[in-house]
Amino acid sequence: MIQPPYLKKNDTITIVAPAGKINSAYITNAAEHIDRWGFRTKVGDHVADAHYGLAGADDHRRADLQAAIDDPKTAAILCARGGYGCCRIVDWVDFSPLLDSPKWLIGFSDITVLHARLQRVGLQSIHGLMPNRFPITTDNVESAESLRQALTGKLQGYTIPAHPLNKPGTARGVLQGGNLSILASMAATPDDIVPDGAILFIEETSERPYTIDRMMNNLQRSGKLRRVAGVVVGQFTNIKKDAIMPPSRNAYKLLSPYLNHLAVPVCYGFPAGHGKPNYALYLGREVLLEVSGKRDTTTGKTSKAETRLYYT
């Protein structure tokens, strides 16, 4: 996978809105943070547009993304927010200029569509914070700092406490994935994930237990889970109740029957996704995953049980 150049002082980050509509105040706040980091900010022509829940018409959202891809002065493309809409424009965007002039694309949630296309093209990207979640005061500063480190090449990896459901082991592979429902929606499309030997990352929000179960069942029945080298389970937030599956707001208990029988390491509770903090991750880059053990549920000690995710 091609690695775009890390950002230097005065490099330009262009903000576009390829999915859901966004309040312009979020754009202003994010631009102020970016300026304090020492970068310049450019905003797409149609970022403030709205077409029902989308950030403007398909043609306008596509045009802004294409303009940022084509712009020789843009070093990174920051997506304004997720929501919905990327699947409506991805097939009409020409990503080939990025092969000659690589630049980072940043976002998560619905932006998983664009991450998948970039990996198909052969480019790394960043699963990370977007303007609608940039800190206002001291809130979410860890997420913003991890994104700054990722953009400047200072992000080496993470060490986090173990989770009781963890499946120990060590694996190396290219990190791919993103939002679970978006991954499911891309099945049988040109951007469907091919997880041969990959470390699969998944996260989700605002789903019901039976829909999570259905999506995991699809990954299992399609054979994709048998092809991964390891799994990193991020945040599953705001899980809703339903009358189909046993009542539980702990999504990890829904996932473990699908994951823990695999002969690969599985990490639960990685701080990336729709919660806080949302640590930046390089997608499309080889990563070393070391899951050393489970937390002692009696004592709560984690001194000898942790998860390490480091880029190689």
Q: What is the CATH number of the domain that holds 252?
A: 3.50.30.60
5: in domain: no
> Which residues, including other chains, have CB under 8 Å from residue 296's CB and lie 6 or more apart?
302, 305
> Which residues, including other chains, have CB under 8 Å from residue 74's CB and lie 6 or more apart?
12, 13, 14, 42, 68, 103
Is 274 considered catalytic here?
A: yes
DSSP labels, 134-182:
S-SSSTTHHHHHHHHHHHHT---EEEEE--TT-B-EEEEEEEEEEEHHH
Specify the CATH number for the domain of residue 66. 3.40.50.10740
Mean pLDDT of 240-269: 88
pLDDT of 305 reads 80
Q: Are residues 205 and 62 in the same domain?
A: no
7: in domain: no
DSSP labels, 243-303:
SSSPP-S-HHHHHHHHHTTSSS-EE---S-SSSSS---EEETSEEEEEE-----TTT---T
Catalytic residue chosen out of the listed positions 203, 204, 207, 290: 203
Look at residue 302 and tell me whether its pLDDT is greater than 50: no
Q: Choose the final residue of a domain: 103, 131, 152.
A: 152
Q: Tens digit of pLDDT for each residue in 188-227?
A: 999 999 999 999 999 999 999 999 999 999 999 999 999 9
107: in domain: yes
120: containing domain: 12-152
4: in domain: no
Higher pLDDT, 268 or 139: 268
Tokens 């998948």 sit on residue:
116
> Which residues, including other chains, have CB under 8 Å from residue 8's CB and lie 6 or more apart?
none
The C-alpha atoms of residue 199 and residue 188 are separated, in whole angstroms, by 20
Look at residue 46 and tell me whether its pLDDT is greater than 60: yes
Pair 157, 310: CB distance under 8 Å = yes
pLDDT of 309 reads 97
Q: If pLDDT is split at 50, 70 and 90, which confidence band does 294 have?
A: low
Write phi, then psi, for 31 (nearest 5 degrees).
-60, -35
pTM of the complete model = 0.95
61: in domain: yes
High-pLDDT (> 70) share of the chain, % = 95
Q: Choose the final residue of a domain: 108, 123, 152.
A: 152
Is 181 considered catalytic here?
A: no
Look at residue 159 and tell me whether its pLDDT is greater than 60: yes
Q: Are residues 16 and 85 in the same domain?
A: yes
Pair 252, 143: CB distance under 8 Å = no
pLDDT of 299 reads 60
Q: Are residues 146 and 168 in the same domain?
A: no
Is 203 considered catalytic here?
A: yes
Q: Are residues 162 and 276 in the same domain?
A: yes
Q: Are residues 148 and 166 in the same domain?
A: no
Q: Are residues 90 and 213 in the same domain?
A: no
Pair 167, 266: CB distance under 8 Å = yes
Look at residue 107 and tell me whether its pLDDT is greater than 70: yes
3: in domain: no
Catalytic residue chosen out of the listed positions 109, 143, 181, 256: 109
Tokens 């963890």 sit on residue:
166
High-pLDDT (> 90) share of the chain, % = 88
Q: Are residues 121 and 254 in the same domain?
A: no
Q: Are residues 121 and 79 in the same domain?
A: yes
How does the average pLDDT of the chain come out, rounded?
94
Tokens of 222: 């399609």
pLDDT of 241 reads 83
Look at residue 310 and tell me whether its pLDDT is greater than 90: yes
Number of domains in the chain: 2
pLDDT of 188 reads 95
Look at residue 79 and tell me whether its pLDDT is greater than 50: yes
Higher pLDDT, 296 or 148: 148
Q: Choose the final residue of a domain: 152, 169, 190.
A: 152
The C-alpha atoms of residue 192 and residue 310 are separated, in whole angstroms, by 25
Mean pLDDT of 121-125: 97
Q: Are residues 178 and 233 in the same domain?
A: yes
